[in-house]
Structure 1
Amino acid sequence: MARKTQTQETAVSCGTLRERTRRAIVQLLKQEGCLDAETLASHLGITAMAVRQHLYALRDEQLITYQEESRPMGRPAKLWQLTAAADRFFPDGYAELTLSLLNSVKQAFGEAGLDRLLEVRSKQQLESYNQQMKGKRSLKQRLNKLVEIRTHEGYMAEVQAQADGSFLLIENHCPICAAATVCTGLCAKELEIFQAVLGDDTHIQRVEHIIAGERRCAYQIIPH
Structure 2
Amino acid sequence: MNSEQDSSTRKLILTMLKTRSSMTVSEMAKELGITEMAVRRHLNTLERDSLIESKLVRQAMGRPTHLYSLTLLADDLFPKKYHHLTLDLLGELAEEAGEDVVDGLFERRKKKLISRYGQRMEGKELKQRVAELAEIQNSNGYMVEWEQDGEGNYVFKEHNCPISQVANQYNHACACELNMFEQLLSADVKRTECLAKGGTKCIYIIQDK
Task: State the TM bucket, normalised to the shorter chain.
Answer: 0.5 to 0.7
The partner residue of 1:173 within 160, 164, 179 is 160
Which of structures 1 and 2 has the bigger CA Rg?
Answer: 2
User: 1:95 maps to which residue?
Assistant: 83
The partner residue of 1:108 within 89, 96, 104 is 96
**Once the 2 structures are TM-superposed, how far is the Cα of residue 108 of structure 1 from its aligned partner?**
2.0
Where in structure 2 are there 5+ consecutive unaligned residues? 10-75
The partner residue of 2:135 within 143, 148, 154 is 148
**Once the 2 structures are TM-superposed, how far is the Cα of residue 217 of structure 1 from its aligned partner?**
0.3
Where in structure 1 are there 5+ consecutive unaligned residues? 1-10, 20-87
SS of 1:218's equivalent in the other structure is strand
User: 2:62 maps to which residue?
Assistant: none
The partner residue of 1:188 within 162, 171, 175 is 175
User: Within 5 Å, which residues of 2 pair with 1:12-161?
Assistant: 15-16=5-6, 94-135=82-123, 137-161=124-148
% identical aligned pairs: 34
1:210 has 2:195 as partner: yes
What CA deviation, in whole Å up to 9, does each residue of 1:42-97 have, x standing for no partner? xxxxxxxxxxxxxxxxxxxxxxxxxxxxxxxxxxxxxxxxxxxxxx9799782112
**Once the 2 structures are TM-superposed, how far is the Cα of residue 124 of structure 1 from its aligned partner?**
0.7
Distance 1:193 1:140, change over 3 A: same
What CA deviation, in whole Å up to 9, does each residue of 1:156-178 have, x standing for no partner? 01211101100101000111111
TM-score, length of structure 1 as denominator length: 0.58
Distance in 1 separating the partners of 2:202 and 2:125: 24
**Alpha carbons 1:209, 1:217 under 8 Å: kept:** yes
User: 1:162 maps to which residue?
Assistant: 149
Distance 1:115 1:14, change over 3 A: closer
Distance in 2 separating the partners of 1:132 and 1:153: 16
Residue identity matched to 2:191: R
SS of 1:170's equivalent in the other structure is strand
**Matched pairs, number:** 144
Residue identity matched to 1:96: H
Distance 1:16 1:166, change over 3 A: farther
